[in-house]
Each structure stands twice: as C-alpha cells, then as structure tokens.
Structure 1
Amino acid sequence: MRNAMLSCFVVLFSVKGLAATGKTLTVGFGAHNSPPYALIKGEVNTGGVIADIIGEISDSLDINSRFVFVPRKRIEKYLLDGTIDFYLISNPKWISHNALIWTIPIFKEKNVIVVKKESKDYETLEDLHQKTVGTIRGFVYPSLTEAFDTQYISRTDVRSLKLNFERLSKGWIDGFIDSDILIDYVFKEHNYDDDFKVASYLVSEHLIYGVLSPKSDISIEEINNALDKLITEGVISAILSKYRINESGIAKKKK
C-alpha cells in the first residue's frame, strides 16, 4: 500500500551517486512552500532551500533522497503512516502529534505584515483594529488567534503568497502576513520596494525545524548530527545567502 501511494505522489527522485547505506529519505513538500523554500514546476521540486538542505543531509549521511508533493493538510497523516519520512519547514506549534520526532532548530523565521508603500505604518496591534489582513489557508498564527477569533482583526485566507500580493495590489485587503524569508525573496526577485513595504509591527518570531516520521529507517540522531554540522560549518547560512536572505535568520547554537 505504501509503495502504491508513493507511486502516485512521487514527483522527483534524486540520487547523487549510489548511496552506500542503500537508505532513502522521502521528503514532503507542497505548493504551500513558496519560493525560495521550494522552486516548483508542475509538482516537481526543482530547487530552493528545502532541496539544498536535503541534498546536504543526504550527502553527509550517504543516503538517497526522494521528494513527494503533498497538500499541507496531509503532512501530519503522511508522516504518521510513513508515506513520507521527513518534512523540513515546520515547528512543533504547527504540527502537534506526540509521535512525531523533531530535529534541532535550523534557522529563525519572522512573520511580518506587508502593506502598500503609501499606506500608514502599522506599529502596534491596535493599529490593525478592524483591518482586513490576508493570511495563508490552514496556517496558524498563535499571536493573533484571539484577535482573529473575536473579529478584532478580519482574517481572509488564500492558498499562496502570490495571491496575497495580488489582492493587496488591488486594494482588496489592508495588508497580509507571511514569512520574512519568503517576502524578502519576492521583493528582490520582482523589485517590489517601490510598491510595497514591511510594516513595523512584528507578528511573531519562531524557529524552523524538521520533523521525522516514527516509521523512518533513518534516525533522528543521524539527521541531527548532519544538521548540527551544517549549521556549525556555515552551510545553512550559505544556502540562505544563495537566495539573498539576511543571515540574521540563522538559528544560534546553544552553548
């Protein structure tokens, strides 16, 4: 059954030589992983932060890697039943099942608000009162949950960052929330500095982790050792810099 499911969903298989261990790490990704996390054509992950980090982990552990296109709402299910072994861009606050196994923190990410260039700056939560804010469907914003639930702020969902930029441009929303990493990439790719700006109000700051299936043949110790080396040697920093992301997002190692 597992092989049948994989045959339906596997869209990219990459092997750098023949892995001595013979093991394969099956990694989930999806349309919700906006660039530069995943550079997707059709349902194929052609590159980006996820592919680069997985490539480095695979090389370090001498294993193969396989990418599987999955919807956001199926990530937890597929991790639990072993359809995928690993999912990279996550946080224990977003996927909470206690059977899942978490890596060490890899880097930091901030949720910020984008507004039109000519708009008044939002500096506090009170500035957002009665505003309509674009969000990503299925995503949780813990710091704003109460404000959304009480309609202090109106939340309106779409599937992608691109759609929120389009809605903001047309004046359908007052601003939108997303990752500073994704927004930084889009601003620089499309020269958006003259049209939009990031508001002063910081929605949240959190660490990014990977999450491992309890059914994976590859242990969390192996993955954590690989990640620790990549962080220490500056490889994660170099990957983020490749996509022109500010290096201040790198997770600091505990002393």
Structure 2
Amino acid sequence: MHGTLGALLLWSTSCLAAEIPLRFAITDGWAMPMVQIERGRPTQGILPDIMTSLATQVGMPAEFHVLSRARLGAAMRNGEVDVRCYVSPAWVDDRDDYLWSVPLFFQRDLLVGTASAPASVSPAALTQQPVGTVLSYTYPTLQPLFDSGQLRRDDARSQEQVLAKLLAGRYRYGVSNQWALDWFNQRHTADRQLHGVAVLQEQELNCYLRKDPDIPAQRILDTLQKMKASGEIDAIIQLYTGRKAESEAETDAP
C-alpha cells in the first residue's frame, strides 16, 4: 500500500512539474510579423512561433505575458516572466544578472518615408520636425537630434501605428525595423508603400532568461542554440518575411 501511494505521489508530482509553464515576455509595441496581439494575447508571428517551439522542445507549456516596454525590466527582475527575446544586451542595465543566448536575430532600424520622400536622407540634415516613434523605445542615432530639439518624438503605441500615421501624413518620417516595414508594405499598393531613406542602426539580438533553479536554464540555452544552428529560427523568419536572415546584413540597405 505504501509503495502504491508513493508511486502515485511521485507520478502526480512529476505531472505537476511537467505543467510548470515557461513564461515569455511579449512587448505590446511589437507588430507583425513579429507578433499579432488580439484581446491581450499573441495569436501569430515570428516570436510566438519561436517561443512555442522552444517551450515544446524543453518539455514545458508556453505562457505569454503581454507587457508594455516600460514594464519589461521589472517583470524580469520580479520573476513575473522567465524569458525575454529579441533583445540586445546593451538595452538591459542589469544584463549580468541574467543568462544570455547566442545571437538569434538581426535587426535593421530604418528612417522611413512615403513614396514621395527622397531615396536617401541624412537625419542630421533634417529641418525641425516630428518623427514617428514607438512609446518607450530608444533610438541612439536620433537621440542627439531629439535632445537638441531639431527633431521631436511623436510616440505611438506600436510599430504598426507609427507606419499607419506616416502613411496618413501625420509626419514626414518615422522609424521602423525592416521586418515591420516589409509586412506593412505587403498590404498596400506600390504607390502607397513606404521605403527606408536611412539606416539608423543594425544589430544582432538575443534571448535572455532569469537565473532560477526552477528553470532548466542550460537546456533552454542549448535548445535555442540548436534551433539557430539547424536553421529552424531562420526558416520561421523567412516564412513571415520572405527574407533569408543570414543575408539580411548584406542586402536591401537603402
């Protein structure tokens, strides 16, 4: 009897352990193809697809927490979420308190204009005007121009809203990453498509996770490295964008 009860207790404990979720942070300022958020939950996109695959491969259910960018740091520090992806270590003040994956993504930030905008623009040469930006996002290349008052931030809640406001004529230029710009243009005719007029920044981005004994940290890091090396992550990116991630740095620059 004791053996049976012990076996049942061991089985129930292992089942409960298997159901402990891997909690991912999702930024509410992201847009497709990174993520689509409906009723406060991600429904599709590059990042939830990668996160779901990661959780499945490490044997944990994925749990998504949609947060404002301003809340992300505190959520990680307070243990509300376990993993945050699409991040540069330079963006995180307490970066040494976490475990970091190998570089997984390549991001190109662009200054974007409408079809009537010049093919190439020097941000420093722009006259005093507003520029479309995402709330709480930092733009190191443009920050000196914001500080001097030459340019003024016009914040929107998401990347998609920045591009929609640009197309509607709210300002002459906005900032977008390459993925979001490509996705936005897919839904518009050629005469209404936006285009990059200057490359502001290019960088590789990672995932990072909390140092917590309840999280299988090394298994998560090893799995992310395997997903990158096998081409799985790049295949997901290409599925949504049509771009081969490994060649992004050398192609399509304005």
Into which bin does the TM-score normalised by the smaller protein fall?
0.7 to 0.9
Counterparts of 1:152 and 1:90 in 2: how far apart (Å)? Answer: 28
| Structure with greater Cα Rg | 2
Residues 132-211 of structure 1 mapped to structure 2, 5 A cutoff: 132-188=130-186, 190-211=187-208
> TM-score, length-normalised on structure 2?
0.83
Identity of matched residues, %: 21
Superposition map of 1:1-255 within 5 A: 21-98=18-95, 99-188=97-186, 190-215=187-212, 217-248=214-245
| Corresponding letter in the other structure for 1:126 | A
Q: CA deviation at 1:21?
A: 4.6
Cα RMSD of the aligned pairs, angstroms, is: 2.3
Structure 1 CA distance, aligned partners of 2:121 and 2:246?
22
Measure, in 2, the Cα distance between the counterparts of 1:53 and 1:117: 33
Q: Give distance in 2, aligned partners of 1:177 and 1:251.
A: 18
Q: What TM-score, normalized to structure 1?
A: 0.83
1:108 is displaced (CA, Å) by 0.2
Runs of 4+ in structure 1 deviating by more than 6 angstroms, as ranges, are: none
2:6 paired residue number: none
Post-superposition CA distance 1:87-122 (Å, at most 9, x none): 112222222224233221101010012211012233
Give the number of equivalent residue pairs: 234
Deviation at 1:131, TM superposition (A): 3.6
What residue ranges of structure 1 are gaps of 5+ in the alignment?
1-17
C-alpha distance in structure 2 between counterparts of 1:40 and 1:216, whole Å:
31
Q: State how far apart, in whole Å, the 1-side matches of 2:247 and 2:80 are.
A: 30
| Larger fraction in helix | 2
Deviations 1:143-202 (A, max 9, x none): 2211211123222211122322232223221110011111111211x1253213323310
Hey, what's the Cα distance between the residues in 2 that align with 1:192 and 1:144?
30
Determine the C-alpha separation between the residues in 2 that align with 1:162 and 1:110: 16
Counterpart-to-counterpart distance in 2, 1:207 and 1:225? 18
Displacement after TM superposition at 1:20 (Å)? 8.2
SS, match of residue 32 in structure 2 = coil
